[in-house]
Amino acid sequence: MEGLSTIPWSRLDAWGWSFIVVTLALVLTGGWRLYAGEATASASILAEDGNRHYRMLIRTMGALSFIFIFGALFSEDGQALLYQLIKPVFKFFKADNVGSFRNENMSLMFSAGLIAQLLAAGILLVLAQTFPGFMHVQPDGNDRKKLYFKRADILRLWGLFATCLCLLAIASILWSFFAQIAASQGQILPNEIQDVVQLVANWNGPSWVLSILFLSVTVGAPLIEEIGFRGILYPALRDAIPRGWAIALTGILFGSLHGNLAALLPISVMGAWLCIVRDRFGLGTCILLHAMNNAWTIFWLIAAPEIATKL
């Protein structure tokens, strides 16, 4: 969040004002839900069946597997290998010229990222089926609820999404205040926009190339990140350390993964809150909320880039 003073109010079109009105309505709704306690942490976690030592061992193996698989596929060497593997496929199926070298390069890069996300998620799901307890999916808070996509459940899901936007807004405002205080002391903190945000907001290439990035952000990223962080890493940490510390540490690790200091606090808050959602509603709800948040961001970056990059 760069601040209200940087918003080009005089140049806002209908999409820009729509973004402000809809976002404000959802943030206020999310704030009301937080005040009412409908999206807060469960008071306690129900005891799990089975041998605790075995559960801790298998979940530790899961956390280490996630770190290894994620690191291998998303390292520079891993992405370069996938890039080279899919390049001949693009050449084979390309009926017409894909366009400029930049478009071809970007499409290959986005595809490599999407394949890595789906491949990593697939490997972890296979391991979860092979080793019971490897991944924790079901809600286990004392007030746990399952969403069955009835009308009330859909409304609850949108309410949770509104809460997510509210928490992101609060965290962004706090970071902005902290950055201003630091600046008054002569310490200028980084305030760069995330690379993917800048890329989408300034996109002028073919829409089909952007659609690959959209799939990566709204399908691949929610799958691998929620399976890894909320399905595997958080339960392993929760077995080893107090629950509050496990939530906080998972959030910080999740925020650090995105590699942007200006977005560290908002993303960490979101990551911690999704641990609470996992306890109350299960892993599937976390994946849906993550996908909704990313799709929401991409949509407004395309529809109203001037305002969406400021807030």
Residue 222 located in a structural domain: yes
Radius of gyration of the chain (CA): 21
C-alpha separations of 86 from 21, 91, 108 in Å: 43, 9, 7
In tens, the pLDDT along 62-72 reads: 999 999 999 99
**Which residue type is seen at 20?**
I
Kindly indicate the confidence band of residue 95, based on its pLDDT and cuts at 50, 70 and 90: very low
Residue 61 located in a structural domain: no
pLDDT at residue 112 tops 80:
yes
pLDDT at residue 55 tops 80:
yes
DSSP assignments along 162-181, one per residue: HHHHHHHHHHHHHHHHHHHH
Kindly indicate the confidence band of residue 115, based on its pLDDT and cuts at 50, 70 and 90: very high
* Cα-Cα-Cα-Cα dihedral sign, residues 245, 247, 248, 251: positive
Q: What is the mean pLDDT of residues 94-100?
A: 51
Residue 278 located in a structural domain: yes
In tens, the pLDDT along 239-267 reads: 899 999 999 999 999 999 988 888 899 99
Residue 250 located in a structural domain: yes
**Domain that includes residue 174, residue range:** 4-34+144-308
Listed range (178-187, 208-217, 272-281) with the worst mean pLDDT? 178-187
Model pLDDT, residue 44:
64
The pLDDT mean for the chain works out to: 86
Mean pLDDT comparison of 27-41, 200-214, 290-304, highest-scoring range: 290-304
Predicted TM-score (pTM) of the model is: 0.90
Residue 304 sits at φ, ψ, to 5 deg, of -140, 65
Domain count, the chain: 1
Residue 184 located in a structural domain: yes
Residue 211 located in a structural domain: yes
C-alpha separations of 23 from 30, 215, 311 in Å: 10, 23, 10
Listed range (3-12, 120-129, 195-204, 259-268) with the worst mean pLDDT? 3-12
pLDDT at residue 307 tops 90:
no
Residue 177 located in a structural domain: yes
In tens, the pLDDT along 150-209 reads: 667 788 899 999 999 999 999 999 988 888 888 888 887 777 788 888 889 888 878 888
What percentage of the chain has pLDDT greater than the value 70?
A: 84
pLDDT at residue 36 tops 50:
yes
Tally the residues of the chain. 311
225-156-197-66 Cα dihedral, nearest 10 degrees: 0
Model pLDDT, residue 143:
63
Model pLDDT, residue 37:
78
Contact 179, 173 (CB under 8 A): no
Residue whose C-alpha is closest to residue 164's, from 277, 308, 16: 277
Residue 259 located in a structural domain: yes
Tokens (6 digits) for 198:
């800048």
